[in-house]
Chain A
Amino acid sequence: MEKYKLYNLRFLFFLLLILICSPIVNAQSSVIHYDAALNYMQKNNVDSAKIEIDLHMQNVDVQLDPENWYLEGFIYKELYKKYENENFNSPYRDKSLNSFKKSFKLDTVIARTKTTKELIRYLAGRFYNDAVLTLDSLNYLTSILCYEQYRDAALILDSILDIKKKDIEFYLALGTIYVEIYNSDKIKNLQFFNLTRDTYMKILNWDPNNYAANYDLGLLYWNKGVHLMNNIDYELNLDSVMQVQNYSVSIFKESLPFAQKAYEMEPKREETLIVLSGIFYSLNDFPKSKAFDAILKDLQKEK
């Protein structure tokens, strides 16, 4: 009960703010729609408020006034909560954030920008959580869209925010989803190999010392080379077999610098030692492969 009282108070506060900061609207008809939208919101009739604000926003003149965008953002946020709360691709939420962003850019009223920021923060949180929830092999495109929305919003909230840290976190996770799709059918989903590689390379452009991206790239290339070798058709003529081997060796060589970098950064990670030993083995460099095996065994004994 207390919770609802508090909610209603907050709701009234937002509406009061809209009334206080209400602009002088040029077009009389537009004023009517704006007022009507406000009235409907006061009566908790968000559907009618939507119709009125949509009509109001059709007037080009009103689009320079942050208050109009604020009201539109607010109405669409309520629509999102009412109808699309569980919809990861909610158009209402997209429109709401877009309106708040426009309002925030145009606004000079400190009290309102503070409130707008709070509302953007709320939406940013929802976008971020949905990006996490949809990050799987079926919904990853939605996840990317949600993350991009979160990213935009987060930068509005804090222009000096180090967004790269979050970007790396997201793209590392996205990379593993791409790998998962690629691994499920390496021939059919070959394009996901490129997507994975590009994703990790993007991370390394931001942060060349990112352990996970180095390790994952090393493993990605190594696994691809091994997969090619393991799937050589018995009926392939020897000349072609040699060509497959040449190509695989070139891939193993591509994997090496990434795995070595990962090892330099974290020499006591077992998975890196396994990958390095495997790459050297695949390159038929057995002494080096055994050397990394020995380091791995020593490490396991220590544990």
Chain B
Amino acid sequence: MKRKLFYCILCIFPVLLGFQTSFEADANVRLKSVFIYNFTRYIDWPSDYKTGSFVIAYFGKSSKVIAELNKMALSKTVGTQKIEIRIVTKLSEIGKANILYVSPDVETPLVDIIKTTKGKSILVVTENIGFAKKGATINFVIVDNRQKFELNQANAEKNHLKVSSSLLALAIPVTN
């Protein structure tokens, strides 16, 4: 009797077995972080920016990008410099930084951000249409479903940043 009952119970493959429900995390976050790390390898900062920590300032609301950048900072360096991720919510908090990543949710006008970074060797990285023309050096854009980046070499030069030809070759060039 017990055996018969056993067979009855096992007569059907469990319906749930036919379904996967494991979803991978957001892929774009890692890509942006990898891009940012790569920028540090293809751009040369003036010597006074090569001492102390290599500061990546993140301007914007808390996001998954910060977590990924922090993860990167734990295992990577820029030359001999340790990477420091600084989260800023006001322009006055930027201070001396190597990279300023401006999150797309930031409401502060770009012109004000550029004024704040003027004369400093800060690589301004944005993520809004047209920002590379308006003062940012690198601007993330979407082209053919892919994350790409525009590069304004003139803006880089203004901030005394030397961009390697390899990076220029991979970027979408933008002029003022």
A residues contacting B by CB (< 8 A) are: 125, 128-129, 132-133, 135, 169-170, 172-173, 175-177, 179, 183, 212, 215-216, 219-220, 222-223, 225-232, 234, 236-239, 241-242, 245-246, 248-249, 252-253, 271, 274-275, 278, 281-285
Contact = CB atoms under 8 A, between A and B. Distances in A.
B146 A226 contact: no
Contacts of A215: 19
A234 B19 contact: no
Given A169-B12, A173-B13, A230-B25, A236 B18 contact: no
B20 interface: yes
Nearest to B24: A226
* Residue of B20, B33, B147, B170 contacting most chain A CB atoms (<10 Å): B20
Contacts of B42: 238
Interface residues of B, number: 38
A212 to B, nearest CB: 5
15 contacts: A129-B11, A132-B12, A132-B13, A173-B13, A173-B17, A176-B19, A216-B19, A219-B20, A223-B22, A230-B27, A232-B34, A234-B72, A278-B23, A281-B26, A282-B27
Nearest to B6: A129
Contacts of B76: 234
Given A132-B13, A230-B30, 4 more contacts: A175-B18, A212-B18, A220-B20, A238-B167
Contact of A249 (B18, B21, B75, B146): B146
A91 B39 CA distance: 63
A122 to B, nearest CB: 10
A239 B31 CA distance: 13
B81 interface: no
Main SS of chain A's interface residues? helix
Contacts of B10: 129, 132-133
A275 B26 CA distance: 12
A245 B18 contact: no
Contact of A281 (B17, B22, B28, B30): B28
Contacts of B72: 234
Contact of A252 (B20, B145, B166): B145
B175 interface: no
B49 to A, nearest CB: 21
Nearest to B25: A230
A75 B73 CA distance: 71
A225 B19 contact: no
